[in-house]
């Protein structure tokens, strides 16, 4: 768990720094061409790293019971995210909600699902493990 927390701290620190840099660069020194795409995608890289860190935690966890809780939590997060995004897309298909999602993309809903997955474990098994 300690390695996971260090990875998470480093990745989220990088995310904040890169996001602030990209948000400041676009209005003041607007990049063009490939550089614009690279700068726009740069904040996504640490978030992708967080997904990797969560799955490394699953692989590295030695206690089978804690691993079971983590697997249930990540499966819940994945299902929750898929449900939210599917509903949103269908509402968009019929012009019932505006295009886009106001910045609340798939990663955001997956992370919300992780928190809810810990709560789900607590309510159904009585234990949320070390991650909740």
What pLDDT digit, counting tens, does each position of 100-120 carry?
876 678 999 999 999 999 999
Quote the number of domains for the chain: 2
Q: What is the pLDDT of residues 51-63, one digit of tens each?
A: 999 999 999 999 9
Does residue 6 lie in a domain region?
yes
Whether residue 20 is found in the same domain as residue 70: no
Does residue 55 lie in a domain region?
no
pLDDT band at 129 (very low <50, low <70, confident <90, very high): confident
> What's phi and psi for 64, nearest 5 deg?
-65, -35
CA distance to 35, 57, 127, per residue, from 67 (Å): 41, 9, 12
Whether residue 65 is found in the same domain as residue 124: yes
List the domain range (segments joined by +) for residue 82. 61-132
Whether residue 132 is found in the same domain as residue 73: yes
Say whether pLDDT at 31 is over 80: yes
Whether residue 30 is found in the same domain as residue 81: no
Q: What is the pLDDT of residues 69-86, one digit of tens each?
A: 999 999 999 999 999 999
Q: Can you tell me the distance from the alpha carbon of 54 to that of 103, in angstroms, rounded to the nearest whole number?
A: 22
Does residue 56 lie in a domain region?
no
Whether residue 108 is found in the same domain as residue 85: yes
Whether residue 37 is found in the same domain as residue 97: no
Whether residue 69 is found in the same domain as residue 113: yes
Whether residue 68 is found in the same domain as residue 36: no
Whether residue 102 is found in the same domain as residue 72: yes
Q: What is the mean pLDDT of residues 15-36?
A: 95
Q: What is the pTM of this model?
A: 0.85
Q: How high is the pLDDT of residue 80? A: 98
Q: How high is the pLDDT of residue 131? A: 52
Does residue 102 lie in a domain region?
yes
Q: How high is the pLDDT of residue 132? A: 47
Q: What percent of the chain has pLDDT over 70?
A: 96
Give the chain's mean pLDDT: 93
Whether residue 76 is found in the same domain as residue 98: yes
């Amino acid at each position: 768990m300690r390695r996971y927390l260090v990875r998470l701290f480093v990745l989220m620190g990088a995310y904040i720094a890169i996001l602030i840099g990209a948000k400041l660069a676009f209005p003041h020194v607007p990049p063009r061409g490939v550089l614009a795409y690279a700068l726009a995608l740069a904040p996504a890289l640490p978030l992708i790293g967080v997904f990797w860190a969560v799955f490394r935690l699953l692989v590295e966890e030695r206690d089978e019971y804690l691993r079971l809780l983590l697997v249930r939590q990540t499966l819940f997060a994945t299902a929750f995210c898929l449900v939210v995004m599917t509903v949103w897309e269908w509402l968009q298909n019929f012009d019932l909600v505006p295009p886009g999602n106001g910045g609340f993309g798939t990663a955001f809903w997956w992370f919300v699902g992780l928190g809810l997955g810990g709560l789900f474990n607590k309510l159904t098994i009585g234990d949320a493990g070390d991650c909740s």
